[in-house]
Every structure is written in C-alpha cells, then in structure tokens.
Amino acid sequence: MRRVKVALVLALLMVEQQVQAGAFVIAGFGPDLGKPVAEAVADLVTDEFTHEFPATNYQLVALYDHAKLDTDNICFAVSGVVPVPQNKLAPVIPGYRFTNIYRDHVDANTKIDAKQKCLLEAIRGAVKAMMAERASDLRRHAELP
C-alpha cells in the first residue's frame, strides 16, 4: 500500500521526462532539472547495461527530489531498471534500487541553479552506483525476466 501512495504522490507532484540515452529509455520523475535526465546521465549508461536491458523491453527509472536544510540543498535520487510499463503515465518504482544523497552548502554567492546542480549530482550518483554493478547481477537481483 505504501508503494502505491508513493507512486501516486510522485505521479501527481513531479514532472515526468522520458527520453532516449543512447539506446536506452530513461524515465525521470522529479522537479525540473533544466535539461532532460537522459542528457545528464547519458555518459554513465554502459554498453553492457544497454545490451542486457534493451530499450524495447526495459527502462531506467530515476526518482529524485530536493529539500532545504537551513542554507543547504539536500537532494536524493533513486535509480533502477524496470520492464517498460503498460501504462506510460504511471511511474514504476524499481524493486531493486540504488540511492544517492547529495548535500550542497549554499552561501550568499551561490548561483540560482544550485538546486538543479544538487539534483543532477544526486541522480548521477544513483545511476553511477547502478552501472557499477554487473548487468547480469542486476537482472538477477532485481528478478527481472
């Protein structure tokens, strides 16, 4: 039930982006990054990964958000791989996930794009962690067909 609530909240509150990164579909759910998620992580997605999870059957999912703590930006991201969903409007939460939290100190000289930088760093960290695992092991751990 909790997953359903999280999925509903994400679907209602977040901007959804779905674009190609090389030969892979990336569905991103979170605040506006100023650029597509795929553009932010395209250099991280490995050939081994795209070979094991072809874009016709699978998509990478990135869920991310931002919060302020005093003067700091705190951003988190969750990444995983899922079969392409039948309902393209509903976010699919990966069962086997990789997470990253990024904290960035903001002072008076920080530019306005600090929130977007924080989000991008969090997303890239979560995707890097996923790409560090062998694709065949990821498939086994995620129990994907």
Residue 107: predicted pLDDT: 73
For residue 124, which of 84, 83, 76, 81 has the smallest C-alpha distance?
A: 76
pLDDT tier at 14, thresholds 50, 70, 90? very low
Q: Which residues on adjacent β-strands are paired with residue 14?
A: none
**Does 127 score more than 90 pLDDT?**
yes
Distances in Å between the alpha carbon of 86 and those of 14, 57, 66, 72, 83?
A: 20, 11, 29, 39, 9
CATH number of the domain that residue 69 is part of? 3.30.160
Q: How do residues 57-68 score in pLDDT, each as one tens digit?
A: 999 999 999 998
Q: Provide the domain limits for residue 100.
A: 2-142
| Across 86-104, average pLDDT | 85
Domain count, the chain: 1
Residue 106: predicted pLDDT: 79
**Does 16 score more than 50 pLDDT?**
no
Q: What's the predicted TM-score (pTM) here?
A: 0.80
